[in-house]
Amino acid sequence: MRQKHPASRRQMRAARLRARALSPVRIVRLLLSIPILASIVATSLYMRTSPYEPHIALAHLIARFGCDAALSVDLAPAYRGEVGYHARNDEDGNGVTCEYDSQFTAPTTIETASLATAEPVPAVQERMANGAKFVKP
């Protein structure tokens, strides 16, 4: 009859590594991180391709989530064509988002004035190389 040899240290280490790699907790954690990573990539792509400066582009993106968010980044009220204007926040369709009563006024700061009156950056230079289009930052 054959005698069973005890597992070597190498085999035990491989078994522990395999158990850790196939752990259900680890797999669920990795699956839950996919939407977070996707939103980070999408936000960075938006900021990179936006015609506005990065901090203004981020504020414009935050204002998309509603009037409370637009107010938190000092972009409310916003008029059509300005930074912070999104048609989804314009309830009555008059071209002004997040309108307030005369009793309440949106906070104003020096930075608010610069964000609200920011001009879009002129068209970026594009160049072609072997059929691929490159945008100069």
pLDDT tens for residues 100-110? 643 445 544 44
Burial of 71 (0-12, 13-18, 19+ CB in 10 A): middle
Q: What is the pTM of this model?
A: 0.54
pLDDT at 104: 47
- Print burial letters for 87-104: b (CB count within 10 Å at least 16), e (below 16): eebbeeeeebbbeeeeee
119, 110 Cβ separation under 8 angstroms: no
Report helix, strand or coil for 2: coil
Tokens 């204007």 appear where? Answer: 85
pLDDT at 101: 46
